[in-house]
A and B are shown apart, each in its own frame.
Chain A
Amino acid sequence: MADRPPAPAQQSLQLILARNLISTLSTAAFIVDPRGTVVFYNEAAGEFLGMRYEETGKMPLPEWRAAIEPVDDEGNPVPADELPITVALRERRPVHMTNRIRGRGSAAERIEMLALPLIGTEDQHEGAVGVFWLHLDAPE
Chain B
Amino acid sequence: MRVKLWGTRGSVPAPGRETARYGGNTSCVQVTLAGGTTIVLDAGTGIRALGLALDAAAGPIHILLTHLHVDHIQGLLFFAPLFQPDADVTVWGPPARGSLESRIGRYLSAPLSPVELRELPSEPSFRGCPGPEWTIGSAQVHAQLVVHRGPTLGYRVAEGDTSLCYLPDHEPALGGPLGDYEDEWISGFALANEASLLIHDCQYSDAEYAAYRGWGHSSAGDALEFATRSHARRTLLFHHDPLRSDDQLDALERRAVERLGEGAVGVAMEGAELEV
Q: Binary interface profile of A, 101-140, with partner B (CB < 8 Å = 1, else 0)?
A: 0000000000000000000011000000000000000000
How distant is A65 from chain B, measured CB to nearest CB, in Å?
23
Complex Cα gap A1–B151 (Å): 34
Complex Cα gap A10–B175 (Å): 16
How distant is B199 from chain A, measured CB to nearest CB, in Å?
16
Contact of B162 among A3, A5, A40 (CB under 8 A): A3
Given contacts A3-B196, A121-B95, contact A9 B161 (CB under 8 A): no
A6 and B156 contacting across the interface, CB-CB below 8 Å: yes
Given contacts A13-B146, A121-B97, A122-B95, contact A7 B193 (CB under 8 A): yes
Of the stretches B57-65, B182-190, B246-254, B255-263, the one at the interface is B182-190
What is the interface residue range for chain A against chain B? 20 to 34
A-B contact count (CB 8 A): 60
Contact of B161 among A1, A10, A23 (CB under 8 A): A1
* SS of A interface (majority): loop
- In the complex, the chain A residue whose C-beta lies closest to that of B192 is A6
Within 8 A of B (CB), among A1-21: 1-13, 16-17, 19-20
- In the complex, the chain A residue whose C-beta lies closest to that of B230 is A7
Complex Cα gap A131–B236 (Å): 41
How distant is B96 from chain A, measured CB to nearest CB, in Å?
5
- In the complex, the chain A residue whose C-beta lies closest to that of B184 is A9
Contact of A6 among B142, B160, B186 (CB under 8 A): B142
Q: Binary interface profile of B, 174-186, with partner A (CB < 8 Å = 1, else 0)?
A: 1110000001111
Given contacts A20-B174, A122-B95, contact A10 B189 (CB under 8 A): yes
Q: Binary interface profile of B, 75-102, with partner A (CB < 8 Å = 1, else 0)?
A: 0000000000000000000011100000
A9 and B156 contacting across the interface, CB-CB below 8 Å: no
A10 and B190 contacting across the interface, CB-CB below 8 Å: yes
B190 and A3 contacting across the interface, CB-CB below 8 Å: no
B95 and A7 contacting across the interface, CB-CB below 8 Å: no
Contact of A20 among B146, B175, B191 (CB under 8 A): B175
The answer to the question of B241 belonging to the interface, with a C-beta cut-off of 8 Å to chain A, is no
> What residues on A are CB-neighbors of B156 within 8 Å?
6
Complex Cα gap A13–B187 (Å): 7
B184 and A3 contacting across the interface, CB-CB below 8 Å: no
Complex Cα gap A1–B175 (Å): 35
> What residues on B are CB-neighbors of A7 within 8 Å?
183-184, 189-190, 193
* New A-B contacts (14) at CB < 8 Å, excluding given A3-B158, A7-B184, A19-B185: A3-B162, A6-B156, A6-B190, A6-B193, A9-B183, A9-B184, A10-B144, A13-B146, A16-B175, A16-B185, A16-B187, A17-B174, A20-B147, A121-B151
5 A-B pairs with C-beta separation under 8 A: A3-B162, A6-B142, A7-B193, A13-B145, A23-B175
Binding site for A on B (CB under 8 A): 95-97, 142, 144-147, 151, 156, 158, 160-163, 174-176, 183-187, 189-191, 193-194, 196
